[in-house]
Structure 1
């Protein structure tokens, strides 16, 4: 049977890059590297001033971070996976559930290991429990958006594919930004959440594509064709 071997897909390259960047960022956070710490403080206090001066914007951000919070993404992925199973596509359904679950567990473990304290700002506009790094909201938004796009790609055509990735990127980044603006995360927490989400999605996607090739299926480019291109024939 053909082996995935050293023939890396774009997803594998993204996983390697995101993993390296996340590891460096985690090390800088753990050692309180002064430039990162100063950037975090400047972003936290600067955005907090904007939030306290604009209550309507703050209410919008609170709604946004809830609507696109971790549980809505998890439920959306579960619903998509259930639909796939009903259609007889159990393989991508299992990949989707594994990806968002593994990413969430990994994020929680890293929070405990690193144990970073959240910002403590005067007159906070929002509060959140637990440790700070990486941001769970940013992580789950990246995981959920990435998984859903990769499931939808086989059914999209032309500019629809680029639009789907654009929307996914916007949602992940906007959720990450609200967590910093609301004063419940440092800037590096949000960046770390997005990077970890990219790492997990890209790594599981590359592994899934390697398995497909081992099973004798036609090689695919997941970022263009999705994790299971054969789904297009079920439409």
Structure 2
């Protein structure tokens, strides 16, 4: 009897420790989402209120980069190629779609659902905010590029943020550790590069791009939070963000979800 009591006590202690760790992870995920969502909300208020310092910053950045674009047509052509071909939202969504199909083939059902929901939610939320804010795009003399629709937030910047985050969090477990910093660097450079091209081409304000980054980060943080909650509920260990959302993906045949009850 004392042995059974000791085992039960040990199990209860482990459960309490797991609960505390899980709670800390959820709070951490919520904090990351808030760090992105709160600044976005503040930025939205400033944009809607036409705050003069922000308008001045937007205007100066737009006109300065527009002058450079007019003076260097070859450089401008490169930016247009990157923006409209390499980092185009359609291209990035196609890549994420192919990744999702591959996950379905690997029977990583939950991870495939997370990928699809994150990409879809990002697109829908970005479009809704554009329609609500109805901010006009920059109007420049002799424009080097044009884009339809409203301006805030930048759809290119938001799609790049969600798409590269999905690629990183899904594929990192399959990348050797020595190469992972390079992957993070390439993803970060791409996200920043997308925003820069949109401002330099004169189709977005600086604050549009920052808004796209922040809103995209908030969407990824919230969906990753939900995925982490499922892992804990299913009895799987915590996955460090530097390891990807599901380290088990490296297995040829991922372990089946543990039965409950």
TM-score by length of 2: 0.86
Looking at structure 1, the residues matched to 90 and 187 of structure 2 have their Cα atoms a distance apart, in angstroms, of 17
Report whether the alignment pairs 1:195 with 2:208. Answer: no
Greater relative contact order, per chain length (Cα 8 Å cut-off, separation 6+): 1
Retained in 2: the 8 A contact 1:81–1:93? yes
Q: Which has the larger radius of gyration?
A: 2
**What SS is found at the alignment partner of 1:116?**
coil
Q: Hey, what does 2:229 align to over in structure 1?
A: 210
Which residue, 133, 137, 148 being the options, matches 2:156? 137
Aligned-residue Cα RMSD (Å) equals: 1.5
Which blocks of at least 5 consecutive residues in structure 1 are unaligned? none
Using a 3 Å threshold, how does the CA distance of structure 1 residues 73 and 11 change in structure 2: closer, same or farther? farther
| Counterparts of residues 14-53 of structure 1 (less than 5 Å) | 14-53=32-71
CA distance in 2, matches of 1:40, 1:159: 39
Runs (5+) with no aligned partner, structure 2: 1-14, 254-261
Encode CA deviations 1:95-135: one digit per residue, 9 max, x unaligned: 00100100010000000011100000000000001000000
- 2:4 alignment partner in structure 1: none
Number of residue pairs the alignment of both structures matches: 234
Give every structure 1 segment of 4 or more consecutive aligned residues whose post-TM-superposition deviation is greater than 2 Å: 1-14
Deviation at 1:11, TM superposition (A): 4.3
- Residue in structure 1 matched with residue 83 of structure 2 by the alignment: 65
CA drift at 1:229: 1.4
Q: Give distance in 1, aligned partners of 2:27 and 2:159.
A: 23
